[in-house]
Amino acid sequence: MKLLVIDDNKDLTEAIYDSLDSSEIECKMINDGKAGLDEILNGKGKYNLILLDIAMPNFSGMDILRKLKNEDLLRSENIVIFTASSITDRDIDDFVASGAKGVLKKPVSLDDLTELIEKYRNE
């Protein structure tokens, strides 16, 4: 299982990494939107699951989703929007219709995160 988390909150990404460190999950944490997009583009299909924060400075998760949608790559990746921001239901519907697999709202419990990871473990 390979998990990519793109979120500018270093405390959060470290907490996720630490909580999954002893499991059989290979985690990569990226705290910058542009670097996250580059990782997705360079590793097409490499990750079973990508958790993507929407509200990041400079290059947001929305920018990443738009870029992937424009290049017709959004459907080919298991991207779950991972956000505490006030994303609208319409935004969620638009991104799910475009290929995002869903939304995981912060704060998230370890149980909810583990359940999501198990869902995509064999994808």
- Band (51; pLDDT cuts 50, 70, 90): very high
Q: How many CB atoms lie within 10 A of CB 56?
A: 23
Q: Determine contact, residues 68/76, Cβ cutoff 8 Å.
A: no
Determine what percent of the chain is predicted with pLDDT higher than 70.
Answer: 98
Residue 88 confidence (pLDDT): 78
Lowest mean pLDDT among 7-11, 83-87, 99-103, 112-116: 83-87
78 vs 89, which has greater pLDDT? 78
The pTM for the full model equals 0.91
123 vs 33, which has greater pLDDT? 33
- Band (101; pLDDT cuts 50, 70, 90): very high
Mean pLDDT of the chain: 89
Residue 60 confidence (pLDDT): 92
Q: Determine contact, residues 7/31, Cβ cutoff 8 Å.
A: yes
**What pLDDT digit, counting tens, does each position of 60-87 carry?**
998 999 999 898 888 889 999 988 867 7
Q: Determine contact, residues 51/77, Cβ cutoff 8 Å.
A: no
Structural domains in the chain?
Answer: 9-111 (3.40.50.2300)
10-42 burial, b for 16+ CB within 10 Å, e for fewer? eebbeebeeebeeeebebbbbbbbeebbebbee
Compute the distance between CA of residue 66 and CA of residue 13 in angstroms, rounded to an integer.
Answer: 23
| Sequence-ordered strand ranges (E) for 31-101 | 49-52, 79-83
